[in-house]
């Protein structure tokens, strides 16, 4: 999982990149919420974004921080 912080399979299994433990807690929360939202919406539709925003209102900032860490 060198390219992703996490994933969710169609069977509902959430997989996390072991390197995630080194990320700030807010970023970890974002990744967990992101993958759990996939249990309700397997795509990145507007429904998915609404679910994610309900759990992590500033998810864009956490995502940007993770992208910076990944470089």
Contact 35, 7 (CB under 8 A): yes
Residue 57's CATH number: 3.30.2010.10
Indicate whether 1 belongs to any domain: no
Beta carbons of 56 and 33 less than 8 angstroms apart: yes
pTM here is 0.92
Range of the structural domain that residue 21 is part of: 6-70
Question: Which tens digit of pLDDT belongs to each residue from 6-52?
Answer: 999 999 999 999 999 999 999 999 999 999 999 999 999 999 999 99
Q: What is the pLDDT of residue 70?
A: 79
Q: What is the pLDDT of residue 40?
A: 97
């Amino acid at each position: 999982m060198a390219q992703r912080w996490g994933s969710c399979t169609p069977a509902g299994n959430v997989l996390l990149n072991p390197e995630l433990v080194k990320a700030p807690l807010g970023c970890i929360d974002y990744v967990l919420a992101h993958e759990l939202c996939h249990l309700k919406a397997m795509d990145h539709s507007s429904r998915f974004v609404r679910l994610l925003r309900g759990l992590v209102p500033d998810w864009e900032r956490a995502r940007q921080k993770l992208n910076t860490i990944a470089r």
